[in-house]
Amino acid sequence: MNPVQASIEQALTEQFSPAYLRVVNESHMHSVPPNSETHFKVTLVSQALEGKRQVQRHQLVYSALTEQLKGPVHALALHTFSPDEWAAEQNVPDSPHCLGGGKR
pLDDT digits (tens, 9 = 90+) for 45-85: 999 999 999 999 999 999 999 999 998 888 899 999 999 99
Average pLDDT of the residues in 24-43: 75
Number of H-type helices and E-type strands within the chain: 4, 3
CB 46 within 8 Å of CB 17: yes
CA dist., res. 101 & res. 10, Å (int): 31
pTM: 0.84
Backbone region of residue 87 per phi and psi (left: phi > 0; alpha: psi in -120 to 50; beta: other values): alpha
Kindly tell me if the per-residue pLDDT of 38 is higher than 80.
no
Q: How many residues does the chain have?
A: 104
Could you give the 3-state DSSP secondary structure of residue 54? helix
CA dist., res. 17 & res. 12, Å (int): 7
* Domain residue ranges in the chain: 3-88
Task: Specify the CATH number of the domain 3-88.
Answer: 3.30.300.90
The amino acid at residue 42 is V
